[in-house]
Structure 1
Amino acid sequence: MERRAGELMMTKADHLTLLADIGGTNTRVALAQGTDMLPETIKRYANAGRDALEDILSDYMTAQNVQDLAGACVAAAGPVRDDVATMTNLSWVIKAENIARVTKAEQVFVLNDLQAQGHALGYLAPDAVREIVPGQPARADAARLVVGVGTGFNAAPVHEGPGGRVVPPSEAGHITLPCQSDEDFELKRYLEAKHEFASVEHVVSGRGIERVYAYMQGQDEATVSGADILAAISRGDVTARAAGEMFVQAMGRVVGDLALTHLPFGGIYLVGGAARGVVPWLEEFGFSAAMHDKGRFSDFLQAFPVFVIEDDYAALHGCAAFCQSRIDAQEL
């Protein structure tokens, strides 16, 4: 049964943890008790007009009337090093020490957003995870791979070990865009003329499908939103469908490359709004065919099932799980 916000004080504040999922546009904040994220505490804040994450966290804690937390864990859409995150699409630098000062949390952790998604596996409702490409059965401790296709692109492997779960960070969206066909290379040259370098994220992301559509239209700048492109695909628009097919096949190639790099026999998990948006057309547009098209390793890739995560708050669940695991480790 859900608790009202006013009832949170029945739980000692120092038994609660604070969670935050920081995107380029919005920040979601919630509280957790142990590994259980408390849905009634979720708040969404627009980042526009805010100088720093600390402004949002201060407002949130005042609204929830909590302080002296057991821990805090934030997931940032950008590279993280030594407890400092630099946002990729937002001029914020997030430091653990600043979060500790605002929240009075006893322990503070800063993760990349895909790390948080990896830590969410096993903590999501069964109906929040849907298989879209079948694979073969695997051991419970088999490696898994989380692939985020939203505003940007990233991926993170998930490993289970004797000391607990390990989810190494990466910046996979900024590797070189893989090309096979003449049209792929033409798109690459189009992107290089604008950005000097053509990365995976330039195509396989929410902004990426907008760039692909602009390329198909012969335009220099993307002026049609991803949502409008998906709507046009639904209507049968020829150009939109061609852009969608190119986007989906590029995503399939990249996922296949990452699968061979990490061998996720436990499954590949797609997250993010852009990935969910094209799920209805994945098979029609050739996702699995592109993913499996790896020469003599094509049959080998059939082992890896692909799932889509349909929980917008998965990263918050992952923050809760990670934070509690570190608190428990400190108490041993």
Structure 2
Amino acid sequence: MTNSTTLTALVADLGGTNTRVALTDGAYVRTNTIKRFRNADHADLYSVLRAYMADQTVVPDAACVAMAGPVRDGVGELTNLSWTVARDAISDVTGASTVAVLNDLQAQGHALDFLTADVVQTILPGHRASDHAARLVVGVGTGMNAAAVYRLDGRTLVPPSEAGHVSLPAQNSDEIRLLDWIARKHGTPGFEDVLSGRGFERVYEWLSDEAGVDAPLDAGGIMQAVNDGSNKIAESAARVFIRMMGRAAGNLALVHLPFGGIFLCGGVARHFAPHLDRLGFRDAFYDKGRFSGFMEQFPVHLVDDDYAALSGSAAHLTELMG
């Protein structure tokens, strides 16, 4: 068996738009080997991996793919792209004898112990907890998901989840109107129908419809208007989004009791970071009636690391083969 500390592995972070691929030394990603591929330029993940391997002189001992979609028994389906990922096919393409396929939030969970202080911003301080307290990663990007992280007998356990497709709750008349609007336009509303890039666009479109304004913007344009204060509807959309994110994180905290901390990750979450406090994340997170005081125990952090899923994949392989 290959020693996990000398393990050479291929790791890939497969999203709805891009795939990042790299090689590792043990649990650490060799940053100079990271390459990014546009999924639109390739027929499937395997063509991406072939393109990457064509420039390599080493056959990896192991491989791990973290993907934005549900995984079962080593086979995954991308949520926002019609690609299937299977362990056996990855082994054939890479030559790796050991292969793992994870949901991307599972990989983010495996990365937590390898994050450096400079990529973690504390949003809510919470209370100190034991080293073995549960933690929770919440990803908001092209899609939305969450996964609990546990330490058990010296190993990291991150059960898979598809939390982004849980039915979206409403707590006031405005939110009921939003849910009704999403249901008419897009079907049964789940968390991801608000808490994602396209979800932010939907919130803005709903508010524009209610105001009788026809000024369509994509997510980047809406966020730019929030940043420069040029559009009141964009500001309102950001407030709705942030309060929903706070409530979702609070709901998940009560389900999993992650006294070790909640870690927000994903490109969309990072874009909202400067506005979380002023637009109501704290209040929405704590807004749990007689359990509001209880909520103050949970630390909330924001992770600003594009390569955390790669690091988590590497960490998982070292534990798998250790």
TM range (shorter): over 0.9
Looking at structure 2, the residues matched to 81 and 277 of structure 1 have their Cα atoms a distance apart, in angstroms, of 31
**TM-aligned CA deviation for residue 185 of structure 1:** 0.3
Asked if 1:132 corresponds to 2:126, the answer is no
The unaligned stretches of length 5 or more in structure 2 are: 1-5
Q: Percent identity?
A: 49
Contact conserved, 1:158 with 1:166, CA < 8 A, in 2?
yes
TM-score, with length taken from structure 2: 0.95
Superimposed CA distance per residue, residues 117-141 of structure 1 (whole angstroms, 9 cap, x where no aligned partner)? 0000011222011111110011111
Quote the residue 1:22 is aligned against.
14
**TM-aligned CA deviation for residue 54 of structure 1:** 0.7
Looking at structure 1, the residues matched to 154 and 186 of structure 2 have their Cα atoms a distance apart, in angstroms, of 42
Looking at structure 1, the residues matched to 157 and 195 of structure 2 have their Cα atoms a distance apart, in angstroms, of 26
Q: Aligned-pair RMSD on alpha carbons? A: 1.5
Quote the residue 1:5 is aligned against.
none
Query: What is the SS of the residue equivalent to 2:96?
Result: coil
Bigger relative CO (Cα 8 Å, ≥ 6 apart): 2
**TM-aligned CA deviation for residue 206 of structure 1:** 1.3
Give the 3 Å change call, closer, same or farther, for CA 304–34 of structure 1 in structure 2. Answer: same
Asked if 1:297 corresponds to 2:288, the answer is no
Looking at structure 1, the residues matched to 277 and 61 of structure 2 have their Cα atoms a distance apart, in angstroms, of 46
Query: What is the SS of the residue equivalent to 1:259?
Result: helix
1:110 to 101, 117, 130: 101
Query: What is the SS of the residue equivalent to 1:64?
Result: coil
Asked if 1:229 corresponds to 2:234, the answer is no
Looking at structure 1, the residues matched to 186 and 208 of structure 2 have their Cα atoms a distance apart, in angstroms, of 18
**TM-aligned CA deviation for residue 220 of structure 1:** 11
One-letter code aligned to 2:193: H
Quote the residue 1:273 is aligned against.
267
Looking at structure 1, the residues matched to 33 and 121 of structure 2 have their Cα atoms a distance apart, in angstroms, of 26
Looking at structure 2, the residues matched to 309 and 204 of structure 1 have their Cα atoms a distance apart, in angstroms, of 17
Quote the residue 2:33 is aligned against.
41
Looking at structure 2, the residues matched to 171 and 131 of structure 1 have their Cα atoms a distance apart, in angstroms, of 25
How many residues in Structure 1 have an aligned counterpart in Structure 2? Answer: 314
TM-score, with length taken from structure 1: 0.92
2:55 to 52, 63, 67: 63
Quote the residue 1:6 is aligned against.
none
Looking at structure 2, the residues matched to 54 and 252 of structure 1 have their Cα atoms a distance apart, in angstroms, of 38
Asked if 1:201 corresponds to 2:195, the answer is no
**TM-aligned CA deviation for residue 195 of structure 1:** 1.8
Looking at structure 2, the residues matched to 74 and 221 of structure 1 have their Cα atoms a distance apart, in angstroms, of 42
The unaligned stretches of length 5 or more in structure 1 are: 1-13
Looking at structure 2, the residues matched to 221 and 196 of structure 1 have their Cα atoms a distance apart, in angstroms, of 23
One-letter code aligned to 1:174: H
**TM-aligned CA deviation for residue 50 of structure 1:** 1.3
List aligned pairs for 1:94-243, cutoff 5 A. Answer: 94-218=85-209, 223-236=216-229, 237-243=231-237
Looking at structure 1, the residues matched to 254 and 307 of structure 2 have their Cα atoms a distance apart, in angstroms, of 29
Superimposed CA distance per residue, residues 193-246 of structure 1 (whole angstroms, 9 cap, x where no aligned partner)? 012201110001111111100111118999422111111012222111000000
1:306 to 282, 291, 300: 300
Looking at structure 1, the residues matched to 130 and 202 of structure 2 have their Cα atoms a distance apart, in angstroms, of 40
Asked if 1:263 corresponds to 2:254, the answer is no
Contact conserved, 2:247 with 2:285, CA < 8 A, in 1?
yes
Looking at structure 1, the residues matched to 192 and 269 of structure 2 have their Cα atoms a distance apart, in angstroms, of 13
One-letter code aligned to 2:226: I
Superimposed CA distance per residue, residues 69-110 of structure 1 (whole angstroms, 9 cap, x where no aligned partner)? 210000010000010010000110000000000111010000
Looking at structure 1, the residues matched to 56 and 281 of structure 2 have their Cα atoms a distance apart, in angstroms, of 44
Looking at structure 2, the residues matched to 142 and 99 of structure 1 have their Cα atoms a distance apart, in angstroms, of 34
